[in-house]
């Protein structure tokens, strides 16, 4: 089977990701659940980045997870479906290459979902990390 469209793993959006973002993406994919009778995914839109879920699996601190989630959103690979509170419910996400499953937890309707957003994210080639330029000047700015 030769499909003309690249797979997610071949996409420029995926190739541009940091290792933390890739790890978080695989964590979100691992949370997908299927209907036992039909085999259809039943919880896309209800995928969490809650520390209790991702930290035991090696995804680091909250800041790393938050940055990785923002990177995945920017690349169009996930879409936030629910904005969580401080100590209440967690942020929830959906994978954009799978249909969104309706849920009362969603902050928007099915019409607000951007299916295949990674194809329209404007990433045409993998991003290369730029070397940081080291300034050899005084740490005190001249006035």
Average pLDDT over residues 93-119: 91
Band (pLDDT 50/70/90 cuts) for residue 132 is very low
Structural fold of domain 8-120: Arc Repressor Mutant, subunit A (1.10.10)
Strands (E) in 52-113, as ranges, are: 78-82, 92-95
- Identify the residue with better confidence: 103 or 46: 46
Q: What number of H helices and E strands is found in the chain?
A: 4, 3
The number of angstroms, rounded, from the C-alpha of 133 to the middle of its chain's C-alpha atoms is 29
pLDDT tens digits for 49-89?
998 899 888 888 899 999 999 999 999 999 999 998 876 78
Percent of the chain scored above 70 by pLDDT? 80
pTM above 0.85, yes or no: no
- Identify the residue with better confidence: 142 or 39: 39
């Amino acid at each position: 089977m030769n499909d003309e469209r690249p797979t997610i793993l071949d996409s420029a959006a995926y190739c541009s990701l940091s290792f933390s973002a890739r790890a978080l993406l695989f964590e979100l994919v691992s949370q997908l659940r299927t209907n036992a009778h039909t085999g259809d995914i039943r919880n896309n839109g209800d995928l969490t980045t809650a520390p209790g879920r991702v930290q035991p699996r090696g995804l680091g601190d909250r800041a790393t997870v938050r940055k990785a989630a923002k990177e995945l959103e920017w690349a169009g690979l996930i879409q936030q479906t629910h904005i969580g509170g401080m100590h209440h419910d967690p942020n929830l996400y959906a994978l954009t290459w799978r249909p969104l499953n309706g849920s009362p937890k969603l902050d928007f309707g099915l019409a607000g979902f951007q299916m295949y957003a990674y194809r329209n994210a404007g990433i045409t080639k993998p991003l290369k990390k730029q070397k940081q330029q080291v300034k050899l000047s005084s740490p005190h700015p001249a006035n």
